[in-house]
Amino acid sequence: MKCMLNKILLVVLFASLSATSAQRGVIDDFKIIDSTLCVSYHIDELLDEKSIEALQRGVQSEVVHKIQLWQQKSFINPLEKELNHHIKVFYDNWEKKFKLETPDGYRLTPHIETVKRQCAFVEYFPLVPLSELERNKNYYVSVQVTFQLISAESYNALSDVFAGEKKKSDAKEKKQGGFTSVLVNLLGLGDREFSLKSGSFIITETGQFEYAQ
């Protein structure tokens, strides 16, 4: 029995490491639009075959983008700005289409390629007004993207079933650990994480974007 438990723990550990290992994407471009610095980037292979199959079966998923602006200094790089962008994705059986929800609204599409692009490609996301940036100082942008095959909402609902209790309505939508976490990882349905980082850049005295030398 003890041997069997040890084997299970090893499988869970391996699955957890596989699910959380950081993969990379690409910063595509920076552009100043209406006196605001905007960034474009994309993640390669954000949705794998297992993710697509789960979506088609009605699993509610979520893509969480965390975009951070840092000032580059000799010792400690201070965080200047942090923004989050969430996209919920699921298959609407009534409409027979995928539904993508953001704080700004939602769209429906029958095409998985559209889902993949909407979740993995961010084009000219407004990052910071130029007025908030010091001239000729080095900055860089880092991005962390987490694909939650089982969204926090669905995950916590599943946890409530196993725990036999209901989460408080005012609690933050955050995944809780425990048996559900073990089960999710064993099934290969854990989160997939991606990270990317830009090169250093400056805003010139004339308000132009330039990569640092």
> What is the distance between the alpha carbons of residues 141 and 149, in angstroms, rounded to a whole number?
26
What pLDDT score does 8 carry?
39
Give a three-class secondary structure readout of 97-157. EEEEEECCEEEEECCHHHHHHHHHEEEEEEEEEHHHCCCCCCEEEEEEEEEECCCHHHHHH
What pLDDT score does 157 carry?
40
Minimal CA–CA distance to 211: which of 36, 29, 75, 88?
A: 29
> What is the distance between the alpha carbons of residues 109 and 100, in angstroms, rounded to a whole number?
8
Residues for the chain: how many in total? 213
3-class SS at 51?
helix
What pLDDT score does 171 carry?
44
**pLDDT under 50 in the chain at which residues?**
1-21, 154-163, 169-172, 178-188
> What is the distance between the alpha carbons of residues 184 and 18, in angstroms, rounded to a whole number?
12
> What is the distance between the alpha carbons of residues 126 and 33, in angstroms, rounded to a whole number?
8
pLDDT in tens, 162-193: 445 555 544 445 555 543 343 344 344 568 89
What pLDDT score does 131 carry?
96
List the domain range (segments joined by +) for residue 184.
Answer: 2-211
What pLDDT score does 191 carry?
83
What pLDDT score does 176 carry?
54
What pLDDT score does 174 carry?
56
**Greatest pairwise CA separation for the chain in angstroms:** 71
Indicate whether this model's pTM tops 0.75. Answer: no
Total count of domains within the chain: 1
127 burial via Cβ count (<10 Å: 0-12, 13-18, 19+): buried
What pLDDT score does 7 carry?
39
